[in-house]
Every structure is written in C-alpha cells, then in structure tokens.
Amino acid sequence: MEMIDGIEEINLGYRLAKRYWNRGLASEAARAALEYVFDRREVASVVVVIDPEHTASLKVAEKLGFQNFHETDFHGRPVRLYRMTHGQWHESRQRTIRAASS
C-alpha cells in the first residue's frame, strides 16, 4: 500500500531489463498480479503510475484494461495515474475470454 494523492492505494508496478522488452512478459506478470489481488484479496481498486512518455508501459496498462487516467505528480514527477476497480477487472477478463473464444 502506498499513499497516492492522499489515498492509500495498491500500486501495481512493472519493470523489465531492456533485453526482455516486447515479449509480453510485463503484461503476463501484471495480469497474474491483478488476478491474485482481485480474486484472492478483498481489494476495491488497483492503480498504476506511469510516466506519460513511456509508451510501452501505457500500452501494457491499456492492454490489461486500465482505461481512465488523470495526470498528477508522484514523487515530484508528472505521471498518469490509472485506476481499475474490482468490477472493471472482471469486465476486462470477460472481454478477453470472449475474444479468445471467437
């Protein structure tokens, strides 16, 4: 848990060495973390904090189903703060399942 904009949040972070980029590893690991947090713990929401210029991280977040963001400062740096609720996570999973079965 971490204080972000005055609210105690679960902040999902991901970072990989450059040689592991573009393999889907960040998406896979973050999806597993979200599944654990939302399915096994009583958590209302999870946030990701992303440098707005880091397009790969933005793509990972959006691929996972994070949609809405607002801009804020985090540790003195401008960032995008995305939030996903428990309900949004389950909706995102259902869309993924439907797309895979099509």
List the domains of the chain with CATH numbers. Answer: 2-101 (3.40.630.30)
Asked if 85 and 44 count as a contact pair (C-beta separation under 8 A), the reply is yes
- DSSP one-letter string for 28-86: HHHHHHHHHHHHHS--SEEEEEE-TT-HHHHHHHHHHT---EEEEEETTEEEEEEEEEH
Asked if 31 and 69 count as a contact pair (C-beta separation under 8 A), the reply is no
**What digits encode the pLDDT tens for the residues 1-56?**
777 777 788 999 989 999 999 999 999 999 999 999 998 877 889 999 999 999 99
Closest CA to 93 of 34, 49, 26: 34
Q: How many CB atoms lie within 10 A of CB 92?
A: 18
Q: Give the residue-averaged pLDDT of 70-95.
A: 91
**What digits encode the pLDDT tens for the residues 58-81?**
999 999 999 889 999 999 999 999
Tell me the residue type at 89.
W
